[in-house]
């Protein structure tokens, strides 16, 4: 398993451990240089949103992957974790409905990793 597949697997498992809602993994590598993948997930409350972010950070750190940047943790409405080639978007369910990132990136394919 390559580095990116390993990262996605770790992030996906961390999200599932904290019962993240409506997980989406988008392959954006062919159309932008900002990242190769977007991982988008929701939580039902600010507490769940921060718990998901904390779990992702911890599991990635333990696996030796450092994040480049973290945004939005204080408000816990939309937390962004940037792992260079993967950007994790953790939304409060209300914010996700409002911003509808999937609609903005709807022309990108969901990856097979999401189904594994």
Sketch the domain layout of the chain as residue ranges. 3-107
DSSP summary character for residue 111: P
CA 98 to chain centre: 17
| 19 conformational bin, left if phi > 0, alpha if psi -120 to 50, beta if neither | left
The per-residue pLDDT for range 34-77, each reduced to its tens digit, is: 899 999 999 999 999 999 999 999 999 999 998 889 999 999 99
Determine the Cα–Cα distance for residues 106 and 82; give it in Å rounded to an integer: 21
CA distance 58 to 64: 10
Bigger pLDDT: 61 vs 33 = 61
pTM: 0.86
Domain 3-107, CATH: 3.30.460.10
CA 114 to chain centre: 12
The helix/strand/coil state of 22 is strand
Q: What does the alpha-carbon distance between residue 42 and residue 30 come to, in Å, rounded to a whole number? A: 25
């Amino acid at each position: 398993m390559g580095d990116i597949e390993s990262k996605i697997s770790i992030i996906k498992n961390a999200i599932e451990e904290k019962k993240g809602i409506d997980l989406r993994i988008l392959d954006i590598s062919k159309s932008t240089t900002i990242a190769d993948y977007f991982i988008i997930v929701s939580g039902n409350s600010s507490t769940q949103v921060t718990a998901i972010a904390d779990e992702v950070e911890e599991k990635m750190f333990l696996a030796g992957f450092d994040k480049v940047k973290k945004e939005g943790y204080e408000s816990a409405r939309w937390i962004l974790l940037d792992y260079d080639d993967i950007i994790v978007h953790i939304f409060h369910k209300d914010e996700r409905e409002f911003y509808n990132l999937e609609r903005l990136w709807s022309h990108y394919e969901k990856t097979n990793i999401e189904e594994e």
